[in-house]
Chain A
Amino acid sequence: MSMSEGKDKDKVKMVDLQSLLQETGVNEVLDELDRELVGLAPVKTRIREIASLLVVDKARAALGMEGTRPSLHMCFTGNPGTGKTTVAMRMATILHRLEYVRKGHLVTVTRDDLVGQYIGHTAPKTKEVLKRAMGGVLFIDEAYYLYRPENERDYGQEAIEILMQVMENQRDDLVVIFAGYKARMNTFFQSNPGLGSRVAHHIEFPDYTVDELEKIAETMAAELGLRFSATAREAFGEYLELRRQQPNFANARSVRNALDRARLRQARRLLEAGHVDADMLVTLEDADIRASRVFDESREQVNGGEAAC
């Protein structure tokens, strides 16, 4: 003991945080996150913070300072299609690179995978899922369905209790991420305060702006080997404005669906045209977008309004 103290006095040890960060290769994942995911600024900031915390913790450990492992159970709230699952997948990779989890796989489950059908069925089912998730990240989608206050004998409560126990006692073995819509998630945590207090990081996923959605659409189209013509791009912008006003708008997911339907219409148009060249095959035109029902409804509304006048 006295020897090591003497050593520390002789030489003030330094740790290069940047090189430590480089070593883990986590920067690449973070940059990839910035590049590939449009928008989501608050989410990205939070993830960078978590990564920094873990790097600093590693530096502390390198200097022989004892520290407790931070709790990294998380809650992702946001509207549908805001990228919760995608980010969870990246999160698993980041935590693996930083050696917070040993394997870095993501296990996605919903209520059905955790809660059993009859007495005594829930515990083995939940434990089975937890075993599979160990060494990685457990992602519980629409977590509020676990708790059904209208049925006091619902087995969901049992699953929650097992989850809580493992979250507390086996923090080294897995990270749990809860995901769902904000309002319902809040009620869920209010009615299960024990669970809420074990989740340290609440990350909110904002809705995308129209600009961001357009960018997402272009990326998705590029993945499909398609591109928008100038007029189609304009039409798609208008489409998004209209679609956003409608109920059940699911952000990036709606964009994907719209794109899929546009592809169908493009295919029909090309077949009807008969002769095509390479350029036509990969270009989505104005007409493919404008044929959408979303435009019809808005026209109807305008007409309806006029009729009322």
Chain B
Amino acid sequence: MKITQGTFSFLPDLTDDQIKKQIEYALEQGWAVSIEYTDDPHPRNTMWEMWGLPMFDLRDPAGAIGELKECRKLHGDCYIKINGFDSSRGFETMRMSFIAHRPATEAEYRLEREEGPGRTVHYKLQRVYA
């Protein structure tokens, strides 16, 4: 199952050239670009591992692309996302976050239902390991 989340989740995977253009856009907006990776892409997992610090003072996407390549080399079996953080007052949050790399075999999840008191149903996404 193809896991999608974040910006552009409805689009096919971005090519490296498209990723570069997106980073370029983020830098033009003055956002700090950072790279994160994880082997647990559960939608509720907001704590991905940081690949180095956010790249403040970056002017050109070449630096971030270099980092992405490094990260892919080391964590090719993980999901890697690129974030654009807007530090301006009023936002102070991520303005962009998209998946830039996914492993060859994707993580599988199964939906589980659990009956609670009063016949309420609780849903749970359970990771399935092949």
- Are B62 and A136 interface neighbours, CB within 8 A? no
Contacts of A172 in B (CB 8 A): 62
Task: Tell me if A88 counts as interface (CB < 8 A to partner B).
Answer: no
Kindly state the separation between the CA atoms of A174 and B62 in the bound complex, as whole angstroms.
10
Main secondary structure of the interface of A (DSSP, over half): loop
Q: How far is the CB of A258 from chain B (nearest CB, A)?
A: 36
Which of A105, A124, A173 interacts with B62 by CB under 8 Å? A173
Residue of B nearest to A131 (CB): B63
Pair B62/A132 contact, Cβ less than 8 Å: no
For B57, give its contact among A103, A124, A132, A174 (CB under 8 Å): A132
Indicate whether A284 reaches chain B with its CB closer than 8 angstroms: no
Against A, the Cβ 8 Å flags (1 = close, 0 = not) of B20-36 are 00000000000000000
- CB-defined contacts of B57 to chain A, threshold 8 Å: 132
Q: Is the CB of B62 within 8 A of A170?
A: yes
A102 contacts the other chain (CB 8 A): yes
Report Cα–Cα, A124/B58, bound state, in Å.
15
Q: Is B113 an interface position by the 8 A CB rule? A: no
The answer to whether A102 touches B63, judged by C-beta atoms less than 8 angstroms apart, is no
Q: Which chain A residues numbered 138 to 193 have a C-beta less than 8 Å away from chain B?
A: 170, 172-174
A134 CB–B CB distance under 8 Å: yes
Residue of A nearest to B70 (CB): A127
Is A116 part of the binding interface, using a Cβ–Cβ cutoff of 8 Å? no
Contact of B58 among A132, A170, A173 (CB under 8 A): A132
C-alpha gap A103/B63 in the complex (Å): 13
* Across-interface contacts of B55 in A (CB, < 8 A): 131
Q: Is there an interface contact between A136 and B60, defined as CB atoms closer than 8 Å?
A: yes
The reply on A39 being an interface residue by CB < 8 A is no
- Cβ of A252 within 8 Å of any chain B Cβ, yes or no, is no
Q: Which residues of B contact A103 (CB under 8 A)?
A: 59-60
* Bound-complex Cα distance A136 to B59 (A): 8
Say if the beta carbon of B108 comes within 8 Å of chain A.
Answer: no
The answer, yes or no, to whether A240 is at the interface (CB within 8 Å) is no
Please give me the residue from chain A that is nearest to B63 by CB atom. Answer: A131
Which residues from chain A contact B77 at a C-beta distance below 8 Å?
none
Q: Does B118 contact A (CB under 8 A)?
A: no
Contacts of B39 in A (CB 8 A): none
Q: In the bound complex, how far is the Cα of B70 from the Cα of A130, in angstroms?
A: 15
- With a cutoff of 8 Å between Cβ atoms, the chain B residues found around residue A136 in the complex are 59-60
**B66 at interface, CB cutoff 8 A:** yes
A124 to B67, CA, bound (A): 11
Q: Does A83 contact B (CB under 8 A)?
A: no
Shortest CB distance A131–B (Å): 3
A135 within 8 A of B: yes
In Å, the complex CA distance between A131 and B62 comes to 7
List residues of chain A with CB within 8 A of the CB of B64. 131
**Are A105 and B59 interface neighbours, CB within 8 A?**
yes
User: In the complex, which residues of chain A have a beta carbon less than 8 angstroms from the beta carbon of B63?
Assistant: 130-132, 134
A173 to B67, CA, bound (A): 14
B65-87 interface (Cβ within 8 A of A): 66-67
Q: Which residues of B contact A132 (CB under 8 A)?
A: 57-59, 63
Tell me how far the C-beta of A61 lies from the nearest C-beta in chain B, rounded to whole angstroms: 20
A163 CB, min distance to chain B CBs, angstroms: 15
Residues of A within 8 A of B59 (CB): 103, 105, 132, 134-136
Task: Give chain A nearest CB distance to B56 CB in angstroms.
Answer: 9
Residue of B nearest to A172 (CB): B62
Residues of A near B58 (CB, < 8 A) are 131-132, 134
Residues of A that sit less than 8 Å from B by CB = 102-103, 105, 124, 130-132, 134-136, 170, 172-174
Given contacts A131-B55, A132-B59, A170-B66, could you give 8 more A-B pairs where the C-beta distance is less than 8 Å?
A: A131-B58, A131-B63, A131-B64, A131-B67, A132-B63, A170-B62, A172-B62, A174-B62
Q: Can you show 23 pairs from A to B with CB atoms below 8 A apart?
A: A102-B60, A130-B63, A131-B55, A131-B62, A131-B66, A132-B57, A132-B59, A132-B63, A134-B58, A134-B60, A134-B62, A134-B63, A134-B66, A135-B59, A135-B60, A135-B62, A136-B59, A170-B62, A170-B66, A172-B62, A173-B60, A173-B62, A174-B62
